[in-house]
């Protein structure tokens, strides 16, 4: 602990808080030197009569400490030189004066470092501990150092006998202590920036000084009348206490200085309480008097100032709090339960309810006049239950300027001795919240209808948690409700069909990792009824950070029926493709769009050969006249044409087929395609008895 204190003591002091610290060094040194030397010579000149070297108090010690506190430790050379100059003027040897100056400078510097270091001294003297440190802690240490070096210097110079060393040291030390207590607070109070004194305060200053001087004189003249002495002393003490509590610090220090100087004058004259006593006792009595009056009065003044400062801080805090509360959109209020009146209502009440705080102070139930008729009974009942100690959290409607607005009130009764004494609460305008909830409900209803009508669900995957959320609109009476299901990624993966699992997971992870922009996959999943159903999922990354996907979202659709249709179509397609009959399909203009394998085998043409061609490609010129006209007339009429045709293969050979051609219609009944199915009768072509001769066309 001692090492810590020593480290703090030797650490560089905090920057001075005062303008004097910003003075150039040379003017500061000259100012301190002149003040110290002048006061030292004046003190020596008016020292107590007959007491020789030792005066009852040494004000230059207060100047030295105050100068270092105000201007920094750099001013210590001025103290040394001023002491040396005073000693030389008084006839001391240069070495003696130099040692005395070193002692005074070192003592002042040590007291200064103690104050600004470990003691965290505030030179504004706003706390009682600052007064005690200035009047006792610093001068006790500094005076001891100064007295030790000073008395040692006098002893070396032959000015003191060995028997005089202890009394001289004690007198020097107590003199520095009393001088610091007298002058240091006075200088700190008057040389720091403070609020200026107006005319009324100057009158207070004059009255305080005159009253202190008069009462001091009365007290010190009353020694021969003990009863009057006691009354005068009590009156002086009460006056100083009144000054401490009623006046600012400058007036207090001036009153103390007046009292101390008056006491010093009477001590020098040897009158009053200082008459007919030993010189050493005069010095001790005067020093004790100055120390006690100074310490008590300044401590009371500092305590009073601290109290006032706390009150001012509290008032400022209350003002700021009230300003903050008034700036809020919510109304903060306090209701006194017994009187049923508001003791506080924040300024937002005018904006929220249209009623000023003054109206509510005058009539605590003024707000109830605007209640919506449908909410009036329940709201007033909840209001009354607060007085029974029940906290409230209620929403209700008011009608303001013809507009319905929603308010929310939350309150907390304060119960003391099983009795509600007051109720604190907050009132909020939640109209925008209710409107937003209405819009949200309408939007949710539209979403339900859209999802229900489109038979599409939505999904969301939180990558960090692995949670998959599925939402699907389910028919519910006359509308739809949203059914939600939440599963982990592993659980969803396990529900996939074994044949689809790897493919679906790879597609999802590719989208997550940026290898594909979108997730698209058709997969089967196991339903709660124990069946496999086909779904199609789509989605993409919707939230990412630092290049890492955080959320994926998309849609899913039940495509089981489509898959079944596709399977049937696949069967039909295979049946057509593998059918031994010759099948081809054209558009409405007769251009080929499809042919099966049998067509290629019979005609020698592949699909790539006939695209954008017409069946005219197969025309042999051997069919009866009018056959094709009849064919087109029949199929354009929407009927099926059947007949025998002689067609030409790719190699030029002729083959006979029994052919049927039918139109294909769309949903509107419009013919979009034609389909032809024919049987190759080539093996019968060589039997002329089967075919009668025909006219060629």
List Cβ neighbours of 452 (8 Å cut-off, separation of 6 or more). Answer: 473, 474, 475, 479, 480
The whole-angstrom separation of Cα 105 and Cα 120 is 21
State how far the Cα of 120 lies from the Cα of 396, in Å rounded to an integer.
Answer: 57
Tally Cβ neighbours within 10 Å of residue 674.
Answer: 22
Contacts of 686 (CB under 8 A, 6+ apart): none
Tell me which residue has tokens 């002729």: 654
Q: What are 48's two structure tokens?
A: 């107590």
Alpha helices in 271-410 (DSSP H): 279-327, 349-353, 357-362, 376-386
Q: Is 270 in a helix, a strand, or coil?
A: coil
SS3 542: strand
Give the Cα separation of 97 and 81 in Å (integer): 9
For 485-507, what is the HEC assignment? EEEEHHHHHHHECHHHHHHHHHH
Contact status, residue 697 vs residue 623, Cβ threshold 8 Å: yes
Paired tokens of 161:
């006998």
CB 75 within 8 Å of CB 24: no
Q: Which residues contact 480 (CB under 8 A, 6 or more apart)?
A: 448, 449, 451, 452, 473, 474
Q: What per-residue confidence (pLDDT) applies to 478?
A: 62
For the chain, give the longest Cα–Cα distance: 179
Q: Over the stretch 140-168, which tens digit does the pLDDT of each residue have?
A: 999 999 999 999 998 888 888 888 888 88
160, 320 Cβ separation under 8 angstroms: no
Contact (Cβ atoms closer than 8 angstroms) between residue 638 and residue 657: no
Residue 427's SS3 state is strand
439/189 Cα distance (integer angstroms):
68
**CA dist., res. 484 & res. 474, Å (int):** 10
Question: Is residue 375 classed exposed, middle or buried when 0-12, 13-18 and 19+ CB atoms within 10 A define those classes?
Answer: middle
Distance CA 341, CA 326 (A): 20
Identify the pLDDT of residue 7: 36
Query: What span, in angstroms and rounded, lies between the C-alpha atoms of 259 and 245?
Result: 17
The secondary structure of the chain in percent helix, strand, coil, rounded to multiples of 5, reads 55, 20, 25
pLDDT of residue 194: 57
Q: What confidence score (pLDDT) does residue 20 get? A: 45
Length of the chain: 697
Reading the block at residue 480, the tokens are 């739809």
User: 67: closest CA among 25, 23, 32?
Assistant: 32
Rounded Cα distance, 634 and 60, in Å? 137
Task: Put the strands of the sheet holding 456-462 in their side by side order.
Answer: 479-488, 467-476, 456-462, 548-558, 532-545, 519-526
Residues of the chain falling short of pLDDT 50: 1-21, 48-54, 197-199, 690-691, 693-697
Nearest-angstrom CA–CA distance, 205 and 680: 136
Which pair of structure tokens corresponds to residue 200? 């009324």
**Other beta carbons less than 10 A from residue 100's beta carbon:** 25
Residue 658: CB atoms within 10 Å: 15
């Amino acid at each position: 602990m001692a090492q810590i204190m020593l480290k703090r003591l030797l650490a560089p002091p905090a920057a001075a808080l005062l303008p004097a610290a910003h003075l150039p060094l040379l003017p500061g040194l000259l100012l301190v030197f002149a003040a110290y030397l002048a006061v030292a010579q004046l003190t020596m000149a008016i020292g107590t009569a007959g007491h020789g070297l030792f005066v009852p108090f040494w004000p230059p010690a207060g100047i030295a400490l105050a100068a270092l506190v105000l201007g920094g430790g750099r001013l210590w050379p001025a103290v040394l030189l001023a002491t040396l100059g005073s000693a030389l003027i008084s006839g001391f040897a240069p070495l003696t004066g130099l040692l005395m100056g070193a002692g005074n400078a070192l003592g002042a510097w040590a007291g200064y470092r103690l104050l600004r270091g470990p003691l965290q001294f505030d030179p504004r003297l706003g706390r009682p501990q600052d007064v005690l440190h200035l009047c006792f802690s610093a001068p006790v240490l500094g005076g001891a150092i100064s007295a030790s070096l000073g008395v040692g210097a006098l002893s070396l110079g032959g000015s003191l006998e060995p028997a005089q060393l202890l009394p001289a040291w004690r007198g020097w030390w107590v003199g520095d202590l009393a001088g610091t207590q007298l002058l240091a607070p006075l200088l700190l109070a008057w040389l720091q920036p403070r609020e200026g004194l107006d005319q009324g305060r100057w009158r207070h200053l004059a009255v305080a000084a005159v009253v202190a001087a008069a009462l001091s004189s009365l007290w010190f003249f009353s020694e021969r009348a003990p009863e009057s002495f006691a009354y005068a002393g009590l009156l002086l003490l009460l006056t100083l206490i009144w000054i401490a509590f009623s006046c600012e610090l400058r007036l207090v220090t001036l009153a103390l200085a007046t009292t101390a100087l008056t006491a010093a004058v009477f001590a020098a004259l040897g009158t009053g309480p200082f008459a007919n006593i030993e010189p050493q006792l005069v010095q001790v009595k005067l020093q004790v008097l100055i120390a006690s009056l100074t310490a008590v009065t300044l401590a009371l003044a500092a305590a009073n100032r601290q109290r006032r400062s706390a009150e001012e801080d509290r008032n400022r805090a209350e003002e700021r709090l009230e300003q903050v509360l008034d700036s809020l959109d919510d109304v903060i209020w306090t209701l006194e339960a017994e009187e049923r009146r508001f003791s506080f209502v924040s300024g937002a009440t005018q904006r929220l309810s249209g009623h000023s705080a003054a109206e509510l102070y005058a009539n605590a139930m003024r707000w109830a006049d605007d209640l919506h008729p449908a909410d009036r009974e329940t709201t007033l009942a909840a209001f009354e239950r607060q007085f029974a100690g029940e906290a409230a959290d209620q929403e209700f409607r008011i009608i303001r300027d013809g507009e319905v607005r929603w308010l929310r009130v939350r309150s907390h009764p304060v119960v003391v001795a099983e009795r509600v004494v007051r109720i604190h609460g907050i009132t909020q305008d939640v109209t925008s919240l209710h409107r937003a909830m209405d819009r949200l409900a309408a939007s949710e209803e539209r979403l339900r209808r859209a999802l229900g009508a489109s038979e599409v669900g939505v999904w969301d995957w939180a990558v960090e948690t692995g949670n998959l959320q599925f939402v699907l609109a389910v028919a519910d009476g006359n509308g739809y409700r949203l059914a939600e299901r939440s599963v982990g990624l592993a659980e969803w993966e396990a529900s996939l069909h074994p044949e689809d699992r790897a493919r679906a997971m790879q597609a999802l992870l590719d989208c997550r990792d940026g290898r594909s922009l979108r997730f698209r996959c058709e997969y089967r999943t196991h339903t709660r009824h124990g069946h496999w159903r086909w779904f199609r999922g789509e989605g993409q990354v919707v939230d990412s950070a630092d290049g890492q996907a955080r959320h994926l979202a998309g849609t899913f659709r039940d495509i089981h029926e489509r898959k079944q249709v596709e399977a049937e179509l696949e069967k039909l397609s295979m049946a057509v493709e593998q059918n031994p009959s010759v099948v081809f399909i054209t558009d409405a203009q007769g251009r080929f769009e499809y042919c099966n394998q049998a067509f290629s085998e019979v005609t020698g043409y592949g699909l790539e050969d006939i695209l954008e061609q017409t069946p005219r490609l197969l025309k042999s010129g051997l069919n009866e006249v009018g056959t094709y006209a009849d064919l087109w007339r029949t199929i354009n009429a929407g009927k099926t044409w059947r007949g025998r045709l002689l067609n030409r293969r790719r190699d030029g050979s002729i083959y006979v087929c029994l052919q049927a051609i039918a139109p294909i219609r769309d949903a509107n009944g419009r013919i979009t395609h034609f389909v032809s199915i024919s049987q190759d009768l080539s093996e019968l072509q060589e039997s002329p008895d089967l075919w009668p001769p025909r006219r060629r066309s």
